[in-house]
Amino acid sequence: MRLTIARKIALAVIAIVILCVGTMAWITSVNLQRGFVVYLNQMQTRDLEQLSTLVAQRYREEGNLEWLRHRPRAIGDLMRQMTPQLQTEGGPAQRRRRPPPDRMDARPDDRPDDRRDDRPDEPRERPGARDPMGIAPRVSMVDAAGEPLFGPPETLPTIDQPVIVDGVTVATIRLRPLVQAGGADASATVFLRQQVRDMVLVACALVLVSILLAVWLARHLLRPVAALRDVTARLARGQFDARAPLLSRDELAELALHVNSMAEALEASESKRRKMLADVAHELRTPLTVIRGEIEALIDGIRTADSHALASLHGEVLHLNKLVDDLHQLTLADAGDLHFDWQQVELGALLAPLAERYRERAAGAGLTLEVTLAERPLTVRADAGRLTQLLVNLLENSVRYTDRGGRIAVRLAQDGAWASLTVDDSAPGVPPSALASMFERLYRVDAARTRERGGSGLGLSICKALAAAHGGAIGASPSALGGVRIELRLPLQGAAA
């Protein structure tokens, strides 16, 4: 049989309950027996007090203790006159029968039994035969001189009760205390056995109930685990629409939420992957189709293999090569394999020559480029080559997708512990709903980002990956100039921060 988690939990709970209940039952049983023995000894001590009182009364009548010396039947007659303590206290001792008044009042010399103590032919009554407390076999008495009156001399610790007559101790009654309840009368032993038996039955009942509850609890607690197991199995088979139900509000519910979030992320990633594959196939098919058409036209003699035809083929090859390079860059970024040469870079010194280079390019496109640098140096920890690639992509986007006669404004400033670089351009703009999607791979806004302008749809995705690698962030928002504002934020280093 396979030990599942449910069985392990059930067995663990059952073992703990059995250990706890068994230990409790054992300790309670031991304490009950010890306490019961102490209780019996206390009750028998009270019997000794009564016996001492009866012996003192008889002493006053006889004037000595010779009537008691070596005559156990005499002490038995006194014991039968005692009021049983356990009977009055609600204990298990049976009611003792007091002797008839004529037997109680009779003197020892007038009692036929006493006069026939020395007759060997008559059976003697066993000492303590009518002693429900069971103290007779353990009782002995010595006189004031220490001479034994009856019973064997005790060598073990005893409970001593003096017999006092007119302030003088005339004898001492000694009782060997009980060590275990079995030394008491039969009714006390039966009572103790009943208590222990009931305790064992209750313990067994509790263990049985705990077994049933443990099995139910294990199944109840592991219902969410079973649901999670089914969901993860479906996710492993590629069914990313699987979701785990929330069956509780504990840690397993939190785990179910995390599994659902993972499933949603996998579903979104799979959707993006399929979309990207379709877009990449489309992007690669377009230049390849053009190149194929050009080559077939040259082969069929429709077009002449002059410089114009070769320039057209070269342009398509460059576009195809750039698309492949961009895809390679993104693949490396996703895998974390982009290599960086980290150093302290001053942004103003890096941006100034790029701005001068693109000022001429912007003028050729009929655009005005304005650059505003920070008043003091802003130093960041960066790879100068990768950061240059990021800035080139931003400036190239603005120059390529801004209508002729427009304006581009580049501004570098400090914002607390961050360096902020903003690139604003004029119309055409981007719908607000499309701003968040601009950094997705192969995404284009049809109204302003068309393939005829030369873009592959991967530039901003590369910018986002490079910004994240530098510990910064990049985002898009509407520009006051009527186009799009791209803001790059990088953490400053050292004194600049």
The kind and range of the H/E element at 169 are strand 168-175
Last residue of a domain, one of 143, 170, 188: 188
Tokens of 365: 């496109």
Read off the CATH number of the domain in which 305 is found.
1.10.287.130
Half-sphere exposure for 416 (CA within 13 Å, toward CB): 2
Burial-class residue 232 by CB neighbours within 10 Å (0-12, 13-18, 19+): middle
* Same domain (yes/no): 295, 170: no
* Same domain (yes/no): 67, 92: yes
Q: Which residue from 306, 340, 326 is spatially nearest to 456, judged by alpha carbons? A: 326
Q: The whole model's pTM is what?
A: 0.48
Q: Whole domain around residue 378: which residue ranges?
A: 343-496
**238 assigned to some structural domain:** no
* Same domain (yes/no): 28, 51: yes
* Same domain (yes/no): 370, 491: yes
* Same domain (yes/no): 355, 322: no
Last residue of a domain, one of 314, 335, 356: 335
* Same domain (yes/no): 330, 358: no
Read off the CATH number of the domain in which 443 is found.
3.30.565.10
**181 assigned to some structural domain:** yes
On the question of a cis peptide bond just before residue 428, with omega within 30 degrees of 0, the verdict is yes
> Going by C-beta distance under 8 Å and a sequence separation of 6 or more, which residues neighbour residue 161?
45, 48, 49, 51, 52, 172, 173, 174, 175
> Are 198 and 205 spatial neighbours (Cβ–Cβ below 8 Å)?
no
Rounded distance between C-alpha atoms, residue 395 and residue 354, angstroms: 9
Question: Worst-scoring range by mean pLDDT, 102-106, 265-269, 402-406?
Answer: 102-106
The gap between the terminal CA atoms of the chain, to the nearest Å, is 65
**206 assigned to some structural domain:** no
Rounded distance between C-alpha atoms, residue 184 and residue 67, angstroms: 28
Q: Which residue from 92, 67, 249, 91 is spatially nearest to 186, judged by alpha carbons? A: 92
* Same domain (yes/no): 114, 134: yes
Structural domain count, the chain: 3
The per-residue pLDDT for 155 is: 64
Q: For 210-238, what is each residue's pLDDT tens digit?
A: 888 888 888 777 787 888 888 888 888 88
**193 assigned to some structural domain:** no
Rounded distance between C-alpha atoms, residue 413 and residue 416, angstroms: 10
Last residue of a domain, one of 335, 369, 403: 335
The pLDDT mean for the chain works out to: 77
Q: What residue spans of 301-383 are helical by DSSP H?
A: 307-335, 347-364
**447 assigned to some structural domain:** yes
The per-residue pLDDT for 181 is: 60
* Same domain (yes/no): 479, 353: yes
Q: For 335-356, what is each residue's pLDDT tens digit?
A: 676 778 889 999 989 998 888 8
**220 assigned to some structural domain:** no
Tokens of 167: 């302030």
* Same domain (yes/no): 299, 419: no
**150 assigned to some structural domain:** yes
* Same domain (yes/no): 414, 290: no
Rounded distance between C-alpha atoms, residue 496 and residue 417, angstroms: 8
The per-residue pLDDT for 289 is: 83
- From edge to edge, which strands make up the β-sheet containing 159-165? 148-150, 139-143, 168-175, 159-165
> Are 423 and 358 spatial neighbours (Cβ–Cβ below 8 Å)?
no
Rounded distance between C-alpha atoms, residue 148 and residue 225, angstroms: 81
* Same domain (yes/no): 307, 351: no
* Same domain (yes/no): 492, 353: yes
Tell me the percentage of the chain whose pLDDT exceeds 90: 6
Tokens 């036929």 belong to residue: 112
